[in-house]
Structure 1
């Protein structure tokens, strides 16, 4: 089955490279929304407008990796994934060979877990999540759908990360924390208490700055 990468920015390039060198998937092309189509090739592969993609690829024989970052609390990636599925395309996920996850870990749709990440026993990662390099997800952690956890973040045991949340570079989340949906935890922050929905938190210890 051929694979398309949705996006043509740096993160899409990263996903393309990882799939090319560390998976069984063959990436055939990139696709973007027509309003953002600014070039016809990316990484020596064609770029197609998503609105016209069926003219080049049969949905029953093609999967799409929605390689979009945490824009608008991950809502852009969620919207595009819904459109991909509505058009009849399949989806893929990626677990790096250099990541550590236990045999009973379940990899959900359009979730990407990069090199050096550690997913401990009893931890769960939801649909449409991005877990970047060297992230540590401790035992019994629950990461809900459409979250983005940036490189080097450490999430303590039995913590819950609500849907749509963003955890910044090298952030530390203490054990038994409840991060409410759509929160932003800034890079380098140390979160020691649970959060309110949609809050932006930063500092050591992290304090609420504003609503996202």
Structure 2
């Protein structure tokens, strides 16, 4: 007997039906969102992980043997379709996530803390590129200025568990680097105190490798490359286009802006902020709560609470309308 993958209502079909092991493999391989959920539960990864064998490629034209190889590679060496199916059924007992082999994938409902620009971006990314669906937004009652945001209700954080209980909804804290990441860190702790499981977003356009462990409340956008043996802590934001070198450690509560180069063996301390286009030399240690300004070139260790602020480019005294070569 084989079963459809619906954790809340698993329907059995006889072996004589059209559902065969080969059909199961092809269905899973042709629906990356389903496979991504299985991957995340097996390896504690989130959506869209690329393990270097072209998972993002369209399955059309691929042989069944190749699809089976890809599944086995992601869900355990030598795993058969039946073993993958057994794992999916086991997942039902421990997860709120919905997984189907049909035409749709039912997503895990979550509540997002915040109604600012980052919350708006989180809504876009989670909606279009994840296994989560935003059911509502929440803010502290003192900052509750609107009852709807992005077509969803906004509720006071003090009362959120009444309408969106943590046994049915996950949570994501969409807050910036305010007060050197302290505000986001505090809200993550508050959400956990209410019993919420914090979810993360990992772009399908980011590149990670086997062994990468996605921690809670991370926001990792497109075109990030996290090399093998690098670790990223909880509540970390990696804006688009960063390079996190091998054997580097990004500690908890860090915010890294775009196009940052973190060379191999670097440690970025808890709560630090790293601005756009910063370059950190290999095996440099950045202390806790440091601020590295845009364009900084960091060649040596920085103690806790350091501020590295390079000067901006100077404006020429010659106005643009007097430039002869342009």
Same fold (TM over 0.5): yes
Distance 1:164 1:24 in 2: 28
- TM-score normalised to structure 2 length: 0.62
Please identify the structure whose Cα radius of gyration is greater: 2
**Unaligned residue ranges in structure 1 (runs of 5+):** 205-212
Distance 2:149 2:176 in 1: 18
Please say if 1:104 is aligned against 2:187.
Answer: no
Match of 2:305 in 1: 198
Please say if 1:25 is aligned against 2:127.
Answer: no
Match of 2:251 in 1: 144
- Say which of 8, 11, 25 aligns to 2:118: 11
- Say which of 185, 188, 198 aligns to 2:295: 188
Distance 1:118 1:152 in 2: 11
Please say if 1:124 is aligned against 2:213.
Answer: no
Runs of 4+ in 1 over 6 A off after TM superposition: none
**Unaligned residue ranges in structure 2 (runs of 5+):** 1-107, 312-326
Distance 2:258 2:140 in 1: 27
- Say which of 175, 179, 192 aligns to 1:68: 175
1:155 CA drift (Å): 0.5
Distance 1:157 1:203 in 2: 23
- Say which of 184, 189, 193 aligns to 1:77: 184
Distance 2:188 2:202 in 1: 18
Tell me the matched-pair count.
204
1 or 2, which has the higher strand percentage?
1
Distance 1:196 1:24 in 2: 40
1:46 CA drift (Å): 1.1
Report the 3-state secondary structure (helix = DSSP H, G, I; strand = E; otherwise coil) of the residue aligned with 1:85. Answer: helix
RMSD: 1.0
1:146-187 CA-partner distances (Å, limit 9, x unpaired): 000001111111000000000001111111110000000001
Distance 1:182 1:93 in 2: 22
Match of 1:35 in 2: 142
1:45 CA drift (Å): 1.2
- Say which of 276, 281, 284 aligns to 1:174: 281
- TM-score normalised to structure 1 length: 0.94
